[in-house]
Amino acid sequence: MKFFIDTANLDQIKEAQDLGVLDGVTTNPSLMAKEGITGKENIIAHYKKICEITTGDVSAEVIATDFDNIVKEGEELAALHDQIIVKVPMIKEGIKAIKYFSDKGIKTNCTLVFSAGQALLAAKAGATYVSPFIGRLDDISTDGLNLIMEIRQIYDNYGFDTQILAASVRHTMHVIDCAKIGADVMTGPLSAITGLLNHPLTDIGLEKFLADHKKGN
């Protein structure tokens, strides 16, 4: 299972990278704005900085919503760095663009996916990744993890290569449940990764080992 971090915060990306388990980064316009990164030039410079920190895939989202401009913007983003994955929204023009990018060998991440039907379309169009937003489904009292299960079954039935990128992951239990279901990737905040480290019995056990070692020396 690949671990992506869902942030545009360079310090957090560095921290996850330093842990040695980071496989990539996902961003979106809201995460960029949260870091105060605005304007095309600044956004492009920020993507380049992210690519310098991580060795994995970096999702960069298009803003355009019509085919011609999604293609123009996506090609510009893809040309920035070979780690860039063009993130395209799940809309009609987006699906057309994903098919276009797929035919040209440009990798894509189909974002804002909330149903199995949308995920099936993204795979048919040749998306590299599909991003079902599980946390946002949970927010509206719908079972986000069930969507991951449905997509896993559909993709396995037909051998689709599209990787399931469980997005809008909020906490460690989402990560563990996605791993049990067989999501190919999860993207979440730093806390969802570092939280996996924690268990009180680990802390108690280590404290005792160190105390016993001290007694014997």
Q: How many CB atoms lie within 10 A of CB 180?
A: 11
Burial class of 53 by CB neighbour count within 10 A (0 to 12, 13 to 18, 19+):
middle
Token pair for residue 185?
Answer: 């990737």
How many angstroms separate the first and last alpha carbons of the chain? 42
Per CB under 6 A, the segment of 11-19, 129-137, 154-162, 203-211 that binds ligand G3P is 129-137
Dig out the tokens for 151 from the structure.
């997509």
Which residues in 12-71 contact ligand G3P (CB under 6 A)? Answer: 26, 28, 31
One of 37, 113, 119, 167 touching ligand G3P (CB under 6 A): 167
The smaller minimum CB distance to ligand G3P, of residues 74 and 144, is found at: 144
Burial class (CB in 10 A: 0-12, 13-18, 19+), 66: middle
- Piece in contact with ligand G3P (CB under 6 A), picked from 40-48, 121-129, 132-140, 143-151: 132-140
Nearest approach, Cβ of residue 60 and ligand G3P (Å): 13
> Which of 100, 114, 129, 133 touches ligand G3P (CB under 6 A)?
133
CB of 171 to ligand G3P, least distance (A): 10
Q: Which is nearer to ligand G3P, 100 or 147 (CB)?
A: 147
Give the integer Cα–Cα distance in Å for 74 and 57: 15
Structure tokens at 209: 């080992």
* List 29, 135, 182, 195, residue binding ligand G3P (CB under 6 A): 135
In degrees, to the nearest 5, what angle opens at C-alpha 205 toward C-alphas 202 and 198?
10
Report the residue number, 31 or 149, with the smaller CB distance to ligand G3P: 31
Tokens 């993507």 correspond to 47
Is 168 a residue that touches ligand G3P (CB under 6 A)? yes
For residues 68 and 203, what is the distance between their CA atoms, to the nearest angstrom?
A: 55
- Strand, helix or coil at 39? coil
Q: How far is the CB of 131 from ligand G3P (least distance, A)?
A: 6
Q: Which of 46, 72, 124, 136 binds ligand G3P (CB under 6 A)?
A: 136
Active site residues: 87
**Residues contributing to the site for ligand G3P (CB under 6 A):** 6, 26, 28, 31, 131, 133, 135-136, 167-168, 170, 187
